[in-house]
Amino acid sequence: MPDTQLREVRQPKAHDSAIKQITGEARYIDDQREPAGLLHCYPGKASIASGKVVAMDLSAVAAAPGVVSLIKVADIPGKNDCSPIFGDDPIISEGQITFHGQVIFAVLAETRDQARWAAQLAKVEYEEEKAFISVEQANSNDSTVLPDYQMGRGDVVVDLAKASNRLQGHLEIGGQDHFYLEGHVSMVEPGEDGDMLVHCSTQHPTEAQHQVADCLGVPHHAVEVRIRRMGGGFGGKESQSGQWACLAAIGAKMTGHPVKIRLDRDDDMILTGKRHEFEASYDVGFDNQGRIEAIDLTLLGRCGHSADLSGAICDRAMMHSDNAYFLPSVAIHSRRLRTHTVSNTAFRGFGGPQGVLSIERVMDHIASSLGIDALEVRKVNLYGDEGRNTTPYEMEVFDNIAPELIEQLEASSNYQNRRAEVVEFNRKNKYLKKGLSLTPVKFGISFTATHMNQAGALVHVYGDGSIGLNHGGTEMGQGLYVKVAQVVADSFGIDLERVKITSTTTAKVPNTSPTAASSGADLNGMAAKIAADEIRGRLAEFAAGLFQASKDDVRFENNEVVVGTERLDFTDLVKKAIFARVSLSSTGYYKTPEIQWDVATGTGKPFFYFAYGAAVSEVTIDCFTGEYKVDRVDILHDVGHSLNPAIDKGQIEGGFIQGMGWLTTEELKWDDKGRLRTHAPSTYKIPTATDTPDVFNVDLFKGDGNRAETIYRSKAVGEPPLMLGIAVFSALTNAVVNATGRMPKLNAPATPEAVLLALRDGDYLV
Amino acid sequence: MTSRSAIRFWFRGELQVIEDFQPTETVLDFLRLRQSACGTKEGCAEGDCGACTVAVVRPVGEELRIEAVNACIQFLGTLDGSVLFTVEDLKMEGDELHPVQAAMVKHHGSQCGFCTPGIVMSLFAQTHQNRPADRAELEDCLAGNLCRCTGYKPILDAGIDATAVATDTAEIYRETISEIHDEGELLAGDEGRFFAAPTCKSSLLKLVAEHPDATLFSGATDVGLWHTKLFRKLPKLIYLGRVKELLAIDESAHELRLGGAVSYERARGAFGALDSDIEELIRRLGSTQVRNAGTIGGNIANGSPIGDTPPILIALGASITLESIRGARTLPLEDFFIEYGKQDRAADEVLTEIIVPKLSHSQRFRCFKLAKRYDQDISSVMTGFCFTIEEGKIVESKLAFGGMAGTPKRATNTEAALRGKTLEEACSLVENLSSDFVPMDDHRASADYRMISAQNLLKKALIELSEEEKVATRLKPREAIHA
Ligand SMILES: Cc1cc2nc3c(=O)[nH]c(=O)nc-3n(C[C@H](O)[C@H](O)[C@H](O)COP(=O)(O)OP(=O)(O)OC[C@H]3O[C@@H](n4cnc5c(N)ncnc54)[C@H](O)[C@@H]3O)c2cc1C
Ligand code: FES
Ligand code: FES
């Protein structure tokens, strides 16, 4: 459909639930009316990181007020596994403890408070075993969850030896808790025949359905998973919400009662995985302008106690360690380390951010070693024409707009003048130092596991001309529902308000992929459009018959059907169509074309296209304490032709702040016993309103739209903006370089402590 | 004096009279579990995320205050005599949206929507200031409302719009409140389990004497967490927030007297007026919700080594009064902290007053809070410095620190070293602090960092006070701090 005929798509429509959210009417799972006889489930946790349970005395738990039953591993009727792929995540530990906090039993009680209280009364004896907590411990002991993997091209050893300049470096990259405001929650209602209706706050209803069915030992058809909305997901509810649904379902099966489980915030943080910590080491050769000649990069990923999605996450880190830069001779090594900590999982960017951060550190390092502005180094390394346009995994960067986008941002942010001002400021100031940085993002869109790039939708047109829309995507705040509804409304030329967005459920659209990899609108938007267009085709044919015209002359616009000079209200057409026995319901199915991946060679076209963006950050640091302030941020981001610019802007701003938080104040600290010490918002600090930049300019890149054939030539926007936050880390690095005159030992997150220690590392004392 | 056994407050236009409740029942449990009023969310159950924010209108003396508070750690009994508002109350007649809500929709201020009810309530409370708020004020208003989705920009924009047009006032509830406001003592429960809210000091002290095992509380910004996080059984609760003597703020030319149950937010004006650094420190302490509930008395009485106000108060030379039916005694605050977890307070004693001397002409004050995050974070290092300077020399100094030892503590060795020195000379003596302290080492900060930054902060104060140096030393200059 040409843009001129679009009425809803491209409009800055409000989030589908905006009004309900601001009035408190939007219901999340814990807000649903509780069914009669509801029991509350709560997990009991292991208090060591590694070892065996020798004895477990649950008598005090069972005797606690309100306790109805206990769930032990032997009570699981089917498979004791809630892993996404590898079968290595027990719902309840079978006696071997692999991380601190692991579930060892669960309680069912009349109230949640009673269940929580009882769950901590267990007396457990353990035989402790050696625990690997840090990357270093796991790496030096070759403790891995999956085999090492490499990709690259050229003879890096030779090319490094030939390089004009060469340096080595190391960067530790911290993890990140999702801190979705709504923690994990599931409520399960048993039905007849052993069926279970599962309300689960999940990005992956299909997987939760499979896990619940498998742990109960019933066919998939016996389990329906339903989710209207989540209070945030960010990847944390992709593979790790099933465990809670399973526990509730097992409880429901045992008792015949509905069961709810909702984790306390601290437990949510202790019991569920996070963004992977990484350590990046590089050996890079470059010419005198900073253009990379060869690079050898090792990425150590801390996966935790099980594989979860770590294989794909570490792959994506590797595939993004080029970011927007051409690496002529390159070797990327990845290790997937097993530690005795919670299993790390998907988090917005899915490993990509760690890869991008690694290469951005290389850029900063090269710049400081040559004594030139890092932006110049970045520019000379960008992907370019033939010969400089293939990734380390041999995909052609066919849609490279990074140079143009950066040029525009450099101008609009007044980068060069501000660079001069920063130099001047630093000359005048001893105690405060400024840093400025521009960093780009190029992010590959598609699941790297090719088979996951599929989606289904179900569209019904009812007799009054209202539309029921359902698809496999889940709504976690990202605005997917409204975007897809906009697409469907335009298929029929009707107002958005006539499209009812219904809860995602495995009973309507089966075998779905998770809402992840930024793919929600790309996949589900297409599937819904295919379904809607199918019905529209039938209606068009019917209308053509009514007015003795050709099907191609029928247009749907302004809530009407127009055929030549004839006009008919959409509702009237629908009524007539039903009377004439035209089917007004259709499924739609979409799979992303073109993509493929060869695991053996580490090459292929894993991505349908790339999304681009760039950010400029200016920061000031306080050299007494390492505290800092983000003075100004300018962002230019590419969303193709936006489906909904308001929603997209929200994703960009929110993603940026989340990325900034990851690299600044959000610090996960484990002690040497493997206990997470920062397991609450009192100790784990995500950005507040005050942390946002004083000046914050966000613009959408005005280009020719997506060169790949996506839904109305839009681009995915969920994940890429997170990496814009790297500009803040890079600016902090720059501020320290400006103070000390050399590359500091500054790891992520750059907490005030880290910044102060970096200044001292560079011998800059106040 | 009459005594009541039921609490009374207004909710959804109806008078709630509740006799049967657990002393530790929270306002959030009342809403979500009793009333199935699920608009108000739980994001953390510890006062840090603001998803549970509600607004409470209550009289304090002559004043009617509307306060945003965290329902998750507020005990239900504290609502006695007030009006409770939640997000569901805001829609106006004919389903029209409140200006805050309308602005939130217009600016796309909600994504997942889970933080949203709390944000709406914080902004709603702010509109009762009845004047346009600027960005800094709104950042402060929202420091206790975490949003993981939006990055705050649209919310701040909504706040600017909404406060420009909204005209709300707590005054309209004066009559409603007067219907239930009395001086009567409240004791709900029985001898073994109760929620008590005495209204005068003498009955408070008597009650405490009878129940030395009861838990005293004011803001419950600590005690609330004992319930929600630590599973502590708290069968007997005595609420200090209605005791009129403990709510008094008295100011004379030389000193400031704060009752033992004065909230941060109420103390902020007079306390912050002592020095702009104090104003900024109080502004950064917790969040609006925490400051509306939490008290300086509680910040002292909990004995924490990382409380923000003790180092300031010690540097100012403050003393406190402890009272029981056995009598009253006043002691310098620094003597109150004996060692980690141990304070000079008998079980039947109540901290009734904090006496803060004002700065003299020759005194110069500085305080700094160092934390991982600028707003709403617990300090890794807290400093309060007071220098008496005559003829360019430091004749006396009080250098008090939090986070540097098991208690808030003065750096007596360094104080001695600085005596008689010029400010410039003193700058090279800050390393003496390592003879005063063995800092804490934990997930907030390493011992090394604490020591280095404590020395640097002392140096910063000295540099700022020395006349010659006019260079910038702060990210937020002192001149930019507004009371
Ligand atoms: C989200 C959040 C953020 C916070 N941020 C900060 C911060 O930035 N800086 C900081 O310093 N603290 C902070 N705190 C901690 C807390 O706010 C303070 O310690 C607060 O001052 C406690 O006051 P309260 O009235 O709430 O105390 P309560 O919780 O009511 O009581 C605390 C303790 O003091 C005792 N007590 C209270 N009043 C008296 C009295 N008059 N006489 C005798 N005993 C008494 C109680 O019995 C109890 O043991 C924060 C807390 C939360 C939840
Ligand atoms: S639920 Fe987080 S502050 Fe109350
Ligand atoms: S909108 Fe999701 S946390 Fe604020």
The per-residue pLDDT for B471 is 86
Which residue puts its alpha carbon closest to atom 2 of ligand 3?
Answer: B112
Q: Is B255 exposed, middle or buried (0-12, 13-18, 19+ CB in 10 A)?
A: middle
Co-location of A420 and A463 in the same domain = no
pTM above 0.90, yes or no: yes
The per-residue pLDDT for B267 is 97
Identify the band that residue B2 occupies on the pLDDT scale cut at 50, 70 and 90. low
Contact call for residues A346 and A289 (beta carbons, < 8 A): no
Q: Are strands A628-637 and A695-700 parallel, antiparallel or unpaired?
A: parallel
Contacts of B230 (CB under 8 A, 6+ apart): none
CB contact under 8 A, B146 and A688: yes
Identify the band that residue B166 occupies on the pLDDT scale cut at 50, 70 and 90. confident
* B142 and chain A in contact, CB less than 8 A: yes
Percentage above 70 pLDDT, chain B: 99
Structure-token pair, residue A21: 């959210």
**Calpha distance B135→B132 (Å, rounded):** 10
CB of B72 closer than 6 angstroms to any ligand 2 atom: yes
Instruction: Please count the CA atoms within 13 angstroms of the CA of A531 that sit on its side-chain side.
Output: 32
Average pLDDT (B447-458) is 98
- Please report the ipTM that was assigned to this predicted complex: 0.97
CB contact under 8 A, B88 and A264: no
- A21 lies in some domain: no
Average pLDDT (A324-338) is 98
**Calpha distance A323→A355 (Å, rounded):** 8
**DSSP string for B84-102:** EE-GGG---GGGPPPHHHH
Contact call for residues B233 and B213 (beta carbons, < 8 A): no
- Contact residues on chain B for A678, CB-CB shorter than 8 A: 443
- A744 lies in some domain: yes
Structure-token pair, residue A572: 């009237």
- A173 lies in some domain: no
Domains present along chain B, CATH in parentheses: 1-180 (3.10.20.30), 249-357 (3.30.465.10), 363-475 (3.30.390.50)
Comparing CA positions, the residue from A346, A267, A238 lying closest to residue A106 is A267
Residue B108 gets the label, from left (phi > 0), alpha (psi -120 to 50) or beta, of left
Q: How many domains does chain A divide into? A: 3
**Calpha distance A355→A316 (Å, rounded):** 8
Does pLDDT of A260 surpass 80? yes
The per-residue pLDDT for B92 is 75
Contact call for residues B302 and B373 (beta carbons, < 8 A): no
CB contact under 8 A, B151 and A657: yes
Does pLDDT of B483 surpass 80? no
**Calpha distance A216→A225 (Å, rounded):** 14
Mean pLDDT taken over chain A: 97
Indicate if the alpha-carbon torsion angle A349, A364, A324, A292 is positive or negative: negative
A476, A646, A656: residue with CB nearest B151:
A656
Average pLDDT (A431-450) is 96
Average pLDDT (A359-385) is 97
Final residue in a domain of this structure, among A246, A271, A296: A271
The per-residue pLDDT for A407 is 98
Cα angle for residues A91, A97, A102 (degrees, 5° grid): 50
Residue A238 gets the label, from left (phi > 0), alpha (psi -120 to 50) or beta, of alpha
For chain B, helix (H) and strand (E) counts, in that order, are 18, 21
Average pLDDT (A622-650) is 98
- For ligand 1, the distance from its centroid to the CA atom of residue B295, given in whole angstroms, is 6
- A140 lies in some domain: no
* B91 and chain A in contact, CB less than 8 A: yes
Co-location of A80 and A188 in the same domain = yes
**Calpha distance A84→A220 (Å, rounded):** 15
For chain A, helix (H) and strand (E) counts, in that order, are 20, 29
Read off the pLDDT of residues A102-156 as tens digits, 9 standing for 90 and up.
999 999 999 999 999 999 999 999 999 999 999 999 999 999 999 999 999 999 9
Q: What are phi and psi of B384, to 5 degrees?
A: -130, 120
Instruction: Please count the CA atoms within 13 angstroms of the CA of B390 that sit on its side-chain side.
Output: 6
Q: Which position has the higher pLDDT, A87 or A2?
A: A87
Residue A203's identity, in one-letter code, is Q
- A154 lies in some domain: no
- A156 lies in some domain: no
**Calpha distance A269→A179 (Å, rounded):** 8
Co-location of A604 and A750 in the same domain = yes
Angle, helices B447-465/A752-761, rounded to nearest 10 degrees: 80
Domain CATH code at residue A261: 3.30.365.10
- Taking residue B17's Cβ as centre, other Cβ atoms within 10 Å add up to 11
Average pLDDT (A534-563) is 96
CB of B240 closer than 6 angstroms to any ligand 1 atom: yes
CB contact under 8 A, A24 and B460: no
Residues recorded for chain A: 766
Co-location of A624 and A735 in the same domain = yes
Identify the band that residue A204 occupies on the pLDDT scale cut at 50, 70 and 90. very high
Co-location of A558 and A606 in the same domain = no
The per-residue pLDDT for B401 is 98
Q: Are strands A504-505 and A554-557 parallel, antiparallel or unpaired?
A: unpaired
Structure-token pair, residue A609: 């296209």
Best A266, A347, A624 member to test B by mutation, with max B CBs in 10 Å, is A624
Distances, alpha carbon A6 to alpha carbons A11, A22, A104, B164, in Å = 9, 29, 55, 35
Read off the pLDDT of residues A2-53 as tens digits, 9 standing for 90 and up.
787 899 999 999 999 999 999 999 999 999 999 999 999 999 999 999 999 9
Average pLDDT (B299-327) is 97
**Calpha distance B231→A113 (Å, rounded):** 9
Residue A418, Cα to own-chain centre: how many angstroms?
A: 33
Structure-token pair, residue B394: 């430091």
Residue A689's identity, in one-letter code, is A
Average pLDDT (A463-484) is 97
**Calpha distance B377→B115 (Å, rounded):** 19
CB of B50 closer than 6 angstroms to any ligand 1 atom: no
* B156 and chain A in contact, CB less than 8 A: yes
Average pLDDT (B71-82) is 97
Q: What are phi and psi of B331, to 5 degrees?
A: -140, 155
- Taking residue A464's Cβ as centre, other Cβ atoms within 10 Å add up to 9
Co-location of A299 and A222 in the same domain = no
Co-location of A567 and A467 in the same domain = yes
Which residue puts its alpha carbon closest to atom 21 of ligand 1?
Answer: B299
Residue A598's identity, in one-letter code, is D
Read off the pLDDT of residues B107-160 as tens digits, 9 standing for 90 and up.
999 999 999 999 999 999 999 999 999 999 999 999 999 999 999 999 999 999
Find the farthest-apart pair of alpha carbons in chain A and give their distance in angstroms, rounded. Answer: 86
Best B153, B232, B462 member to test A by mutation, with max A CBs in 10 Å, is B153
Task: Identify whether A744 is preceded by a cis peptide bond (ω within 30 of 0).
Answer: no
Average pLDDT (A421-445) is 97
Final residue in a domain of this structure, among A248, A271, A294: A271
Q: Which ligand is nearest to the CA of B295?
A: 1
- A731 lies in some domain: yes
**DSSP string for A447-458:** -SSGGG-EEEEE
CB of B219 closer than 6 angstroms to any ligand 2 atom: no
- Contact residues on chain A for B153, CB-CB shorter than 8 A: 653, 692, 696, 698
Q: Which residue has 């649903």 as its token pair?
A: A32
Percentage above 90 pLDDT, chain A: 98
The per-residue pLDDT for B469 is 57
Specify whether A8 is catalytic: no
Distances, alpha carbon A734 to alpha carbons A372, A376, A422, A619, A745, in Å = 11, 14, 11, 9, 12
Comparing CA positions, the residue from B299, B295, B293, B344 lying closest to residue B322 is B344
CB contact under 8 A, A669 and B112: no
Q: Which helix (H) or strand (E) holds A165?
A: strand A165-173
Q: Say which DSSP state A184 is in.
A: -
CB of B275 closer than 6 angstroms to any ligand 2 atom: no
Q: Are strands B236-239 and B215-217 parallel, antiparallel or unpaired?
A: parallel
The per-residue pLDDT for B32 is 98
Read off the pLDDT of residues A690-699 as tens digits, 9 standing for 90 and up.
999 999 999 9
Contact call for residues B454 and B378 (beta carbons, < 8 A): no
The per-residue pLDDT for A3 is 80
Of A21, A22, A177, A181, the residue with max ligand 3 atoms within 8 A of its CB, to mutate for a pocket test, comes to A181
Co-location of A581 and A495 in the same domain = yes
Residues recorded for chain B: 483
SS3 readout for A254-271: HHCCCEEEECCHHHHHHH
Co-location of A371 and A405 in the same domain = yes
Co-location of A184 and A255 in the same domain = yes
Domain carrying residue A256: 37-130+178-271
Contact call for residues A354 and A391 (beta carbons, < 8 A): no
Q: Coil, strand, or helix at residue A614? A: strand
B85 DSSP β-pair partners: B55
Does pLDDT of B1 surpass 80? no
Final residue in a domain of this structure, among A591, A626, A657: A591
Co-location of A298 and A326 in the same domain = yes
Co-location of A562 and A644 in the same domain = no
Report the b/e string of A45-56 with b at 16+ CB within 10 A. Answer: bbbbbbbebeeb
A277 DSSP β-pair partners: A302
Does pLDDT of A572 surpass 70? yes
**Calpha distance B200→B1 (Å, rounded):** 11
Average pLDDT (B328-342) is 97
- A4 lies in some domain: no
Contact call for residues A172 and A747 (beta carbons, < 8 A): yes
